[in-house]
Structure 1
Amino acid sequence: MCGIVGVYSEDARIVPKLVFYSLFSLQHRGQESAGIASFGGEDFKVVKGMGLVTDVFKNVDFEKLKGKVAVGHVRYSTTGESVVENAQPFVVKTRAGSIAIAHNGNLVNFFELRNKLERDGSVFISTTDSEVIAQLLSRLLIKMDLEDAIIELTKILKGSYSLVFAVNDTLVAMRDPFAFRPLCFGEFDGGVVFASESCALDTIGAKFVRDLKPGEAIIVRDGEVESIKVESEREAHCVFEYIYFARPDSTIDGRNVYSVRYKIGQILAEEAGVEADIVSPIPDSGTTSAIGFAERSGIKYIEALIKNRYVGRTFIMPEQKLREISVRLKMNVLKENVKGKRVVLVDDSIVRGTTSRKIVDMIRKAGAKEVHFRVGSPPIISPCHYGIDMQTTEELIASKKTIEEIRREIGADSLAYLSLEGLIKAIGMRKDRLCLACLTRDYPVKGEFCFRC
């Protein structure tokens, strides 16, 4: 689920700083590594490393990174290990020029493509599918112009990919024909920006222009903007962006994420109401839906849990043991708010069940009379093959347990999920325009799936 940014401006001094601030606003999309590559006239200058954006760029002299074009990346791993060799952007030198690339998504034909490239003599420094894209692009650019290379690359790649890449001082943003992962286009005085979410544009004061269309690539060459597009057989926008991943102040494919989550809470209250004294979110991703639930149910909204803001998102931490420790560090119960009360807890989803079980236990130990759990999505029954860190059926609690069994597992007095119909209604998009694979096992793209190779 990484976050990506690309910026072009005639003012070379501001470009790396704009990428930095944009990445900072996309930190929720990845906390393992961060990086920026800028083209300074002769070659790319690259700064990347493990950790948060502020850690990686703590002592960086941005003056040395200045250039008219730069791309940036924040990462959490789905394909490839969590090591510095897999930090992005990747830079590849070719006879056609230097390429810097940042990728959000997951290729389902990764094995096939990498094996073919290795047989043809390519040498890889990482274990990610993103470097495969960089190597493919470099080979195509030797044989054809940029526009043709983009079209050919779209034919070769299978799976999810939103890309920003620079070929010397030409900036390109590209979205796969299914538009799995988000990517938007903005403008500011004297420049152009592409980012995974519109909140990044807001941060740097850029005007949101639009989302890239499925199968579209936008090329920025000497300040001129050109769009090319391949045909798309269907759209498959990731439903989990709306449920959990995106920031609530972002707008993705015409849908404001906050509004969607608020409607999720309202519909959840209609479908699974319960007598209770307070409604509380599991912060932060359950907050907006809890507000909607409280409004529609008439039950008072009161926080039962306070979050430690200095602990990252447990879902995107790469190891289960780290997730379990993070839950204890992350939340504390407001005992005065729950003692003797019937509490409704609202969360965005239940993936593995570990966090839910621990939170219910914490609320009970604080003196709650009843704990009712409400979930703003249908049960997640199948792994994601397109970039969300849900890799195996075995780790998904709903893939092997009934709702009643899950209720007993997490220790709640009652448990209810939002219906699939309710979720689609809240998003306000036709069912055939969404990727619902993790909820239905209906995968838009088939392939030889690869995770953490």
Structure 2
Amino acid sequence: MGGFFGAVSKEDCVFDLFFGVDYHSHLGTRRAGMAVYDSESGFDKAIHNIENAPFRTKFTKESNSMHGQMGIGCISDFEAQPILIRSHHGTYAISTVGKINNIDEIADEIIKTNTHFFEMHGGGINQTELVAAIINQKENFIEGIRYVQEIVDGSISILILTPKGVYAVRDKLGRTPISIGQKEDGYCASFESFAYLNLGYKEYKELGPGEAVVLTPDGVKTLIPAGDKMRICTFLWIYYGYPSASYEGISVEKMRYNCGKALAKRDNVKPDIVAGVPDSGIAHAIGYSNEAGIPYSRPFIKYTPTWPRSFMPTNQTKRNLIAKMKLIPIHDLIEGKSLLLIDDSIVRGTQLRETTEYLFESGAKEVHIRPACPPLFYGCKYLNFSRSTSEMDLITRRVIKKLEGVEPTDEIIKEYVDPDGEKYAAMIEEIRKELHFTTLRYHRLDDMIASVGIDSDKLCTYCWDGKE
């Protein structure tokens, strides 16, 4: 995943930029950067690896040495950014959030114009560099931005820093958010709206799908109006979003309470306590507890002093071990108890099985699992949530293959999506047995959509139902 923040000010903006970007640390774990423009000294940029240290630590020096009235910054799981570009548009810095599915096809076409790209480790192309190259195919930024929206298969939101202002562009179908904040001496553009509240900004507006604006210290000008169709990622509320975040006016924390309530209303087990897997499962569990009248408790604690971030190695065995090491059991709250545990989702299932096993090892009598979203059947095509997860790594796909004896096709998967169907029930039971849960009940798709509270046709649910 990733998140970005931009600021423009009549005074120096680096303080706001530094902390605004830092407030996006929950969205990325590997690369971070800041770029600023000063009317006297021009552009300055810094990028650091943040795999083993938080953003604040790595960028403390830059927070004191950088100066400028305008700037953008980004935290990302993948591409090093923002990057500085020199083109016929002049010099500018650019940062992106999203996923381009046809990146190789676009790059091959642009290379025909005698443009080159720097290959990243593994032979890939930095998607932010590609977006800049697409923009540079046109005579001005507005035409270039429209061209990006036209040819990209996937989702891409953009911040561009120029000497004249900061361009903020929400992806064509609004799969990710951009919120604009305002204060007396300037404006900001942020993936997470809460990121600017403690910096003295007030909400100015949320950009609509495909909307592009330019921010200057004197105002916000719309360059491309918002489109009518939106498909914002529902997983923002389930998992990505920080509890204090809101998207389309819907609070992440409130939505998670609603999910827990809906799970409780359809449930018939009577555990001794309800618990959430830290951190994203906690609000879901509180909602369940309040609705069911079953005490909420914390039978394990996430150890954060030396694990302040969510970085995981690429090696799956080590990932599983670290996930287990982070959670410290409280034996007095586990031994002899029937526990109902809520996690945001089940992807591969390995980590949740590890968690369940050590709860049993710690003396739990029963462990009932209630994922806060429906079974995941498809890898995300629009964000980079599942870049490191092939679809066949999904536990649903593996179980369906086991039950059917063949690789699951879209037609076969459709038979397993219906929560009232016999094949769905067989799949859930097989997952339950494989992961050693006492019982397993997923959140239903219709209940999850109702928990958000906006029209279903405005929500992207592709990873659950395959509908684009």
Taking structure 1 as the reference length, what is the TM-score of the superposition?
Answer: 0.91
Q: In the alignment, which of 441, 445, 450 is matched to residue 420 of structure 1?
A: 445
Paired residue for 1:95? 88
Match of 2:398 among 397, 400, 408: 400
1:198 is matched with which residue? Answer: 193
User: Higher RCO, 1 or 2 (CA under 8 Å, sep at least 6)?
Assistant: 1
Amino acid of the structure 1 residue aligned with 2:331: K
Quote the offset at 1:114 in angstroms.
1.1
- The 1-side partners of 2:217 and 2:331 are apart by 60
Report the count of equivalent residues.
Answer: 429
Question: In the alignment, is the contact (CA less than 8 A) between 1:185 and 1:209 conserved in 2?
Answer: yes
Greater mean deviation of Cα atoms: 239-248 or 220-229: 220-229
Residue 1 (structure 2) pairs with residue 4 (structure 1):
no
Task: Map residues 197-346 of structure 1 onto 2, 5 A cutoff.
Answer: 197-221=192-216, 223-230=218-225, 232=227, 234-309=229-304, 310-311=306-307, 318-346=314-342
CA, structure 1 residues 389+150, in 2 after alignment: closer, same or farther (shift >3 Å)? closer
How far apart, in 2, do the equivalents of 1:99 and 1:248 lie? 34
C-alpha displacement at 1:325, in angstroms? 2.6
Task: Output one character per residue of 1:65-93: Cα deviation in whole Å (capped at 9) or x when no partner.
Answer: 1111100000113xxxxxxxx31101111
One of 49, 54, 57 as aligned partner of 1:55:
57
1:115 Cα deviation from its structure 2 partner: 1.1
Superposed displacement of residue 389, structure 1: 2.6
Question: What residue number does 1:163 align with?
Answer: 158
The alpha carbon displacement at 1:189 in A equals: 2.1
Partner of 1:21: 19
- Work out whether residues 32 and 76 of structure 2, in 8 Å CA contact, stay in contact via their aligned partners in 1: yes
Deviation at 1:150, TM superposition (A): 2.8
2:68 counterpart of 1:73:
no
Name which of 120, 135, 143 aligns with 1:137: 135
CA–CA distance in structure 2, aligned partners of residues 61 and 130 of structure 1? 22
Say whether the 8 Å CA contact 2:185–2:217 is kept in structure 1. Answer: no
Q: 1:227 to 1:428 in 2, by over 3 A?
A: same
RMSD (Å) for aligned C-alpha atoms = 1.8
Aligned to 1:115: 108
Does 2:106 match 1:106? no
**Mean CA deviation greater in 400-409 or 364-373:** 400-409
Q: CA deviation at 1:319?
A: 4.3
Distance in 2 (CA, whole Å) between partners of 1:327 and 1:147 is: 45
Q: How much does 1:155 deviate?
A: 2.1
Aligned position for 2:402: none
Output the CA distance in 2 between the equivalents of 1:248 and 1:299. Answer: 23
Assess if the C-alpha contact under 8 Å between 1:5 and 1:72 holds in 2: yes
Shift of 1:11: 0.4
Deviations 1:289-313 (A, max 9, x none): 1000001111111111100124256
Measured after TM superposition, the shift of residue 108 of structure 1 is: 2.1
Give the AA of the match of 2:431: I
Contact 1:2 1:74 in 2 (8 A): yes
Question: What secondary structure sits across from 1:299 in the alignment?
Answer: coil
CA distance in 2, matches of 1:434, 1:394: 25
Contact 1:92-1:135 within 8 A present in 2 as well: no
1:312-368 Cα distance to aligned partner (Å, 9 max, x none): 565876442342132122101111001101100111111111110010011101101
Measure the CA separation in 2 of the matches of 1:62 and 1:438: 39
Q: How many Å apart are 1:380 and its aligned residue?
A: 0.6
Partner of 1:429: 454
Aligned equivalent of 2:418: none
Shift, 1:54, TM fit: 2.2
Structure 1 residue 222 displacement after superposition: 5.5
Structure 1 residues 180, 318: CA separation in 2 closer, same or farther (over 3 Å shift)?
A: farther
In 2 relative to 1, CA 337–122 (structure 1 residues): closer, same or farther, beyond 3 Å?
A: same
Q: For 2:137, what is the secondary structure of its paired residue?
A: helix
The CA deviation string for residues 180-238 of structure 1, in whole angstroms up to 9 with x for no partner, is 11211111220100111112112322112221100101112452321133563621100
Flag the 1:384–1:319 CA change in 2: closer, same or farther, 3 A. Answer: farther
Alignment correspondent of 1:386:
382
Amino acid at match of 2:114: G
| Cα distance between partner residues in 2 of 1:73 and 1:319 | 25
The partner residue of 1:149 within 144, 160, 163 is 144
Taking the aligned partners of 1:168 and 1:34, their CA distance within structure 2 comes to: 22
Which consecutive residues of structure 1, in runs of 5 or more, have no partner in the other structure?
78-85, 444-453
Amino acid at match of 2:88: R
Structure 1 residue 48 displacement after superposition: 0.8
User: Is the contact made by 2:81 and 2:94 (CA closer than 8 Å) also made in structure 1?
Assistant: yes
Distance change (3 Å), C-alpha of 1:6 and 1:318? farther
Query: Which 10-residue stretch deviates more, 402-411 or 29-38?
Result: 402-411
8 Å contact 2:324–2:351 — kept in the other structure?
no
Q: Does the 8 A contact of 1:30 with 1:76 survive in 2?
A: yes
Which residue type is aligned with residue 359 of structure 1? T
Secondary structure of 1:34's partner? strand
Partners of 1:414 and 1:315 lie apart in 2 by 30
Q: Structure 2 length as normaliser, TM-score?
A: 0.88
Counterparts in 2 of 1:440 and 1:222: CA distance versus 1, 3 Å? same
